[in-house]
Amino acid sequence: MAAKAGQRGGSFIKQAAILAAAGILVRFLGFVYRLPLTNMIGDEGNAIYGAGYYIYTFLLILSSAGLPAAISKMVSERISLKQYRNAHRVFQSALAVSTALGLFFAIVLFLSAKKIAVLVEYPESYHAILTLCPTLVIVAIMSVYRGYFQGMHTMVPTALSQIVEQVFNAFFSVYLAYIFLGLAIPEGKTKNIPLAAAGGTMGTGIGALAGLVIVIFSYFLIRPTLLRRARRCRQPYEEGRRELVIQVLKTAWPIIAGTAVFSLTNLVDMVMVKRILLGTGFTHAQADALYGQLSGKYVTLTTLPVAISTAVATAALPSIAASVKLREKKQVRRKMGLTFRTSMIISVPAAVGISVLGTQIIQMLFPKAQEGGMLLTVGGISIIFLALCQTSTGILQGIDHIKVPVIGALLGAVAKVALNACLISIPQLNVLGAVLSTTGCYLVAAIFDVTMLSRLTGTRFDMMGNFLKPVIGSVFMGAAAWGSYRLIFTACPHNTVATLLAILVAVLVYCLVMLLIKGIREEDLQALPGGGKLIPVLQRVRLL
């Protein structure tokens, strides 16, 4: 039994590493294509793109965002009990639910696109919203396949589909934006920015379609094996389709609700930022540009490092759920500790690095739109709290407390709205107020989720191993980043060169300090993409 538990633990680490590697690549590709897109459409275009995309994201969450987690949990529980036929029936039932919901919200969005665009005070986003309607159906179907694969503890199809999706998304978003930029140019303008933004969102749908093809192909490759295993299995009873549909919805809705609340904060920003800025003397163009910096630069860059914590949490959910079902309390606690530690080892230095070199990073990445560096400097710390939210949410869902993150998200949303109203109206802060309120939102939610997780499991949060050691390493790293940037820039006054070299120095310093203070363990490296190959090297030099 212990050997099997160990194997499951190793499998969890391996699957987390696969999904983390894919997550890093996907976020990197998503980040890379936003560079030429932003340089083409500017902060104003980013605001239009962001408005359409956030509306789509909110409806996507309502239709399918909770399904992968719900399906992976339900499938994993049944597989752990060798109920393979019921596990496959979960998949079939969820596919029907998700397709219906996706179609419903796609039709609603199509029929109300113009009214919604006007309601959120971004009428230029109408075409961007229209292009995203089919994507709701595509992603809804794809989410079920991904959840099914994750429940079977195989992240390869999900990882591969995410990479293919993002490659197609990146290429077609930039290509179509470039084409549409020169079409139907309004009088007095040199380019059609709203149509170019719609071209960017159209690439999202093309990418999603490519990802769907990959997961369907992967499913049909193993379908004969799945059906054969389902026919041979002996299970106490066969769950009915109606029973499973109800259970899928019952499991998914708290996850959807919690995610929707966080998504709603983006919509709150979209409306509140512009209205408050206009009320304090900013012009429409200035308000759009500031919101574009917030959505196109701050949100894009601060969510990039969270890819690993998201991947680890996603991999942890079915693994922890299976251990809970098998009553392996020791394994549950071990997986919880590893999940938190891996998340913080990545998130804390990312937050410090982005804060220290915020302005330099913006200038390097957006040479034609260099404003917004202060947003990163002030709001980089939000990465830590967002990672804590996502990690604790994955664990709470795995241990059958799926409603707790909903309460945490609601508390965070209330803090977000209140802080927005107070801070954005201060002229000296303007859009920085939205960044501070986002940090406050994630902080409130993270404190609530982690506190409740500790109470429900009786497990204390390892402050030294999970948090303080990454903070110590990050302090040295931040000082190295700042000092090396200044030194290199003095010798070679080229921002891109100095920034890249400073980041390299910072990473090396962080890794060295963490190894010296025993902040990185062997199982932590196993959870990181390619980390297992470093273990023999570090053991030879006695750093591990």
Residue 9 has pLDDT above 60, yes or no: no
What percentage of the chain has pLDDT greater than the value 90? 26
CA distance 496 to 36: 16
> What DSSP assignment string belongs to 11-61?
HHHHHHHHHHHHHHHHHHHHHHHHHHHHHHHHHHHHHHHHHHHHHHHHHHI
For 206-257, give the secondary structure using H, E and C. HHHHHHHHHHHHHHHHHHHHHHHHHHHCCCCCCCCHHHHHHHHHHHHHHHHH
Examine the pLDDT at 57 and tell me if it is beyond 60. Answer: yes
H helix runs in 280-357, sequence order: 284-293, 299-303, 307-325, 329-356
Q: Which whole number is the average pLDDT over 36-62? A: 82
Q: How far apart are CA 210 and CA 29, in angstroms?
A: 15
Q: Is the confidence at residue 477, as pLDDT, over 50?
A: yes
Burial class from Cβ neighbours inside 10 Å (0-12, 13-18, 19+) for residue 187 reads exposed
Q: What tokens does 335 get?
A: 């997986």
Phi-psi region of 281 (alpha: psi -120 to 50; beta: other; left: phi over 0): left
Residue 227 near residue 78, CB atoms below 8 Å: no
CA dist., res. 387 & res. 350, Å (int): 11
Are the CB atoms for 306 and 386 separated by under 8 Å?
Answer: yes
For residue 529, name the pLDDT band (cuts at 50, 70, 90): low
Write out 105-170 in H/E/C secondary structure.
HHHHHHHHHHHHHHHCCCHHHHHHHHHCHHHHHHHHHHHHHHHHHHHCCCCHHHHHHHHHHHHHHH
- pLDDT for position 137: 93
Distances (CA, A) of 314 to 23, 191, 220: 11, 42, 23
Q: How many CA atoms lie within 13 A of 250 on its CB side?
A: 9
Q: How far apart are CA 71 and CA 320, in angstroms?
A: 14
Q: CA distances (Å), 353 to each of 140, 383, 385, 446, 480, in order?
A: 36, 11, 15, 21, 10
Interval 47-68 mean pLDDT: 80
Entry field: residues in the chain: 544
Q: Give the model confidence (pLDDT) of 19-46 as tens digits.
A: 667 767 777 777 778 778 888 888 778 8
pTM of full prediction above 0.75:
no
Spatial distance between the Cα atoms of 310 and 417, rounded to a whole number of angstroms: 25
CA distance 438 to 429: 14
What is the tens place of the pLDDT at every residue in 140-166? 999 899 888 888 877 788 889 989 999
- Per the CB < 8 A criterion, the answer to whether 430 and 280 are in contact is yes
- Bigger pLDDT: 175 vs 260: 175
- Report d(CA 66, CA 260) in Å as an integer: 9
CA 90, CA 34: separation in Å to the nearest integer?
Answer: 37
Question: 225-258 burial string, b = 16+ CB within 10 Å, else e?
Answer: ebeebbeebeeeeebeeeebbebbbebbbbbbbb
Q: Please say whether the beta carbons of 424 and 273 come within 8 A.
A: yes
| Better-scored residue on pLDDT, 244 or 5 | 244
The confidence score (pLDDT) of residue 205 equals 92
Triad 14, 70, 30: Cα angle to 5°: 60
Over residues 215-265, the pLDDT tens digits come to 999 999 988 888 888 787 776 677 777 888 888 888 777 777 767 766 777
Angle at 267 between CA 264 and CA 272, to 5 degrees: 120
Cβ pair 205, 51 in contact under 8 A:
no
Average pLDDT score over residue span 400-423: 87
349 within 8 A of 430, measured Cβ to Cβ: no
The amino acid present at 526, given as its one-letter code, is Q
Task: Report residue 41 as tokens.
Answer: 């459409």
Average pLDDT over residues 113-139: 89
Q: At what angle do helices 2-60 and 133-151 cross, to 10 degrees?
A: 170
Report which secondary-structure segment, H or E, holds 525. helix 522-526
120-134, 250-264, 303-317, 363-377, range with greatest mean pLDDT? 120-134
Contact present, 435 and 378 (Cβ < 8 Å): yes
Report how far Cα 402 is from the mean position of its chain's Cα atoms: 18
Residue 429 token pair: 């802060």
pLDDT at 5 over 60: no
Structural tokens at position 392: 């604790």
Between CA 158 and CA 87 the distance in angstroms is 18
Nearest-angstrom CA–CA distance, 107 and 55? 14
Average pLDDT over residues 182-202: 79
Q: What is the DSSP string of 62-100?
A: IIIITHHHHHHHHHHHHHHTT-HHHHHHHHHHHHHHHHH
| Mean pLDDT of the chain, nearest integer | 83
pLDDT band at residue 389, thresholds of 50, 70 and 90? Answer: confident
Nearest C-alpha neighbor of 78 from the set 261, 236, 256, 212: 236
Sorted by sequence, the CB contacts under 8 Å of residue 382 that are 6+ apart come out as: 302, 351, 435, 438, 439, 442
Contact between 25 and 169 (Cβ < 8 Å): no
How far is residue 420's CA from residue 435's CA, in Å, rounded to a whole number?
9
pLDDT at residue 524, as a whole number:
66
